[in-house]
Amino acid sequence: MRAPQYRDLNGDGKEELIVGIEPGQNVLVLWIYTLKGRMVNQILDVGVTPLSVEVTRRDVVVREPAESPDYDICTVYSWDDRSGAMIEKTVGFDELRPKHRRRDRS
């Protein structure tokens, strides 16, 4: 289990709880909870194989290995007012510089 973090991800001035559990090798389950009134609501539940996870401003950015050793997949989860949850906002591929390319993904 990773250390929990607290960040205001939905802009209401209150911090949400970010929890990461590593149930197996190279797998991370991310859960994010918010308090609405007196009720705890889960606003993100996603399993990833992260190279890194960052919380920047009000986004959660997950970088994962792509099938090609020349690229990483970058997924950004952001607050969505309509759904009342964190949703996958963008997915992109980042080309790795030659000295950072991974040779073996196993």
Quick one: pLDDT at residue 106?
A: 46
Quick one: pLDDT at residue 77?
A: 97
Quick one: pLDDT at residue 1?
A: 73
In whole angstroms, give the CA distance from residue 5 to residue 80: 20
Of 66 and 96, more confident: 66
Mean pLDDT for 60-87 is 92
Which of 76, 84, 70 shows the shortest CA–CA distance to 11?
Answer: 84
pLDDT at 99 exceeding the cut of 80: no
What's the Cα-to-Cα distance from 52 to each of 6, 20, 90, 91, rounded to whole Å?
18, 12, 16, 15
Mean pLDDT for 41-61 is 94
* Cα angle 12, 33, 63; round to 5: 100
What ranges do the domains of the chain cover?
A: 5-100
To the nearest whole number, what is the mean pLDDT of the chain? Answer: 88
Q: Is the dihedral of CA 37, 42, 11, 56 positive or negative?
A: positive
